[in-house]
């Protein structure tokens, strides 16, 4: 059974880069697609982007200029970087594994506040 866990700073200053890591256990990240999703306080879910098993990436258009998703197969984890953070990026951030056409396994989430 795959388990995912998000980690990183819970507080980021405006204009800085928000960086999160998703550590995966229970299987290799090399054989699946992996996504990041976020949820601002009191709001719905927003798909941020994904990285495939080959390392190719896709991002939602509204964030594409600021987002980078990468993977480290040696450490079995993948990462999210969101540059030029603003208060609007304050949210719960989830990582998830894509399987059979759906986001099947989710991490517990990590809340990140963007504030000075």
Partner 1 sequence: DIVMTQTPLSLSVTPGQPASISCKSSQSLLQSDGKTYLFWYLQKPGQSPQLLIYEVSNRFSGVPNRFSGSGSGTDFTLKISRVEAEDVGFYYCMQTIELPYSFGQGTKLEIK
List residues binding partner 1 (CB under 8 A).
Answer: 35, 44-47, 49-50, 58-61, 94, 98, 100-104, 106-109
Nearer to partner 1, 91 or 107 (CB): 107
Beginning with the edge strand found earlier in the chain, give each strand of the sheet holding 3-7 in spatial order. 3-7, 18-25, 77-82, 67-72
Q: What is the nearest approach in angstroms of partner 1 to the Cβ of residue 46?
A: 7
First to last CA, the chain: 39
CB of 49 to partner 1, least distance (A): 8
Contact (CB, 8 A) for 81 and 105 = no
Choose between 10 and 108: whose C-beta lies nearer to partner 1: 108
Nearer to partner 1, 88 or 102 (CB): 102
Minimal distance, residue 71 CB to partner 1, in Å? 18
CA–CA gap between residue 39 and residue 52 (Å, rounded): 22
Pairing of strands 67-72, 77-82: antiparallel
- Minimum CB separation of residue 13 from partner 1 in Å reads 27
Contact (Cβ atoms closer than 8 angstroms) between residue 67 and residue 80: yes
């Amino acid at each position: 059974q795959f388990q995912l866990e998000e980690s990183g700073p819970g507080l980021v200053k405006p204009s800085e880069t928000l960086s999160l890591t998703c550590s995966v256990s229970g299987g290799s990240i090399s054989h699946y697609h992996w996504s990041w999703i976020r949820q601002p306080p009191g709001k719905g879910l927003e798909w941020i982007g994904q990285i495939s098993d080959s390392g190719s990436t896709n991002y939602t258009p509204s964030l594409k200029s600021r987002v980078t998703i990468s993977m480290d197969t040696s450490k079995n984890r993948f990462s999210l970087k969101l540059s030029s953070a603003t208060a609007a990026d304050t949210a719960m951030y989830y990582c998830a594994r894509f399987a059979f056409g759906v986001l099947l396994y989710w991490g517990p989430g990590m809340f990140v506040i963007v504030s000075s």
